[in-house]
Amino acid sequence: MIFNLNNKTLYTDDKVKIKKLNCPKKIDWDDLSDNGENTRPCHLCNNLVLDTSTLNDLELLNLLKIKPDTCLMVDFNQKNLYLEL
What is the per-residue pLDDT for 75? 93
The domain limits of the chain are: 2-84
> What global pTM score does this model have?
0.87
What is the per-residue pLDDT for 62? 95
What is the per-residue pLDDT for 13? 96
Q: How far is CA 38 from CA 33, 41, 51, 72, in A?
A: 11, 10, 5, 10
Asked if residue 8 has pLDDT above 90, the reply is yes
What is the per-residue pLDDT for 2? 97
Q: What is the pLDDT of residues 39-64, one digit of tens each?
A: 999 988 888 899 999 999 999 999 99
Across 7-32, average pLDDT: 92
Task: Give dist(CA 77, CA 59) in Å, integer.
Answer: 20
